Chains A and B, each alone.
Chain A
Amino acid sequence: MKHVSELDLIRLASGEPVRRPDDVAAHLASCTDCAAALARQREVHAALDAWDVGPNVDMWLAIEQALDRRATLRLPWAMLAGLGRAAAVLVISVGLGFGAGRLAGVGRSIAPAQITADAALDAIGFGLIEDPSSTGLLNDILPAPDAEGTQ
Chain B
Amino acid sequence: MTFKTISSAALAAVLATAGVMTAGAQHITGAGASFPNPIYSKWFAEYSASHPGVQINYQSVGSGAGIRQVSEKTVDFGASDGPMTDEQLAASKQKLVHIPTVLGAVVPVYNIPGAAKELRFSPDVIADIYLGKITKWNDPRIVKDNPGISLPDHGILPVYRSDGSGTTYIFTDYLSKVSPDFQKKIGKSTSVKWPLGIGQKGNEGVAGMVHNSAYSFGYVELIYALQNKMEYGFVKNSSGKWLKASVEGVTAAAAADAKGMPADYRVSITNAPGNDSYPIASFTWLLIPQHFDDAAKGKVMVDFLNWMLTKGEGEVSALSYAPLPKAVAASVAKTIKTIQ
> Do chains A and B interact in one complex?
no
